A and B are shown apart, each in its own frame.
Chain A
Amino acid sequence: AQSVAQPEDQVNVAEGNPLTVKCTYSVSGNPYLFWYVQYPNRGLQFLLKYITGDNLVKGSYGFEAEFNKSQTSFHLKKPSALVSDSALYFCAVSPTGYALNFGKGTSLLVTP
């Protein structure tokens, strides 16, 4: 089965500190991996994706993610968190190109 796991329900970080939101994947073959962000009562917004190439992917709003094949991980990172980054973050995998399988989400809270 093609899936992703987000082991943390919530991540708390102080503004200005680096943040990491974890994601591990389980797929056969080469995965397409994604990060999306959701603000309250809104649809999901695309942040970044890994298809192939450089393992460090840069995305919107200063976020980046590192694809690690040996650890089957795709953690989302940002060097300096902002209060406005507080939201729900979803990791997703697209094994077939048809539909995304999402993780359960991680709530990020950035405190001033």
Chain B
Amino acid sequence: SQTIHQWPATLVQPVGSPLSLECTVEGTSNPNLYWYRQAAGRGLQLLFYSVGIGQISSEVPQNLSASRPQDRQFILSSKKLLLSDSGFYLCAWGGDTEAFFGQGTRLTVV
């Protein structure tokens, strides 16, 4: 069966520090991968999606970037965090008709 791992579960970072969140998927090959952000406990915003290694589509301009160095690995990064980057970040993988989510990372920028 397919599983998705996302870490860390919680993270507190100072403003201006770098960020790296990692997501890996098991049990499937060539998945579509997604990063979502949920601010203030509501509303999911699609940040990035990837249909293959090295292929990243950005949905909104922001202080974040994503990379897909391996087929089942998806990384969300920032060179310098802003206070507004605080939120709940969710990685997901999907086939054609639904998405499966990781447990999320609660990021607090202080």
Contact = CB atoms under 8 A, between A and B. Distances in A.
Contact of B97 (A45, A94, A102): A94
Contacts of B49: 98-99
A104 interface: yes
A94 B44 CA distance: 14
Given A98-B49, A98-B51, A105-B42, A34 B102 contact: no
Contacts of A32: 97
A51 interface: yes
Interface residues of B, number: 26
Tell me if B's interface is mostly helix, strand, loop or mixed.
strand
A87 B51 CA distance: 31
B90 interface: yes
A27 interface: no
Interface string B94-106: 1011111111101
A41 B88 CA distance: 8
A2 to B, nearest CB: 12
Nearest to B34: A99
The size class of the interface chain A forms with chain B is 20 to 34
Contacts of B99: 44, 46, 99-100
A49 B32 contact: no
B101 A102 contact: no
Interface string A74-105: 00000000000000101000100111111011
A53 interface: no
Given A34-B98, A51-B97, A102 B43 contact: yes
Interface of A: 32, 34, 36, 41-46, 49, 51, 88, 90, 94, 97-102, 104-105
Interface of B: 6, 32, 34, 36, 41-44, 46, 49, 51, 59, 88, 90, 92, 94, 96-104, 106
17 contacts: A36-B101, A41-B88, A42-B103, A43-B90, A43-B101, A44-B90, A46-B100, A49-B98, A88-B42, A94-B97, A99-B32, A99-B49, A99-B99, A100-B46, A102-B46, A104-B42, A104-B43
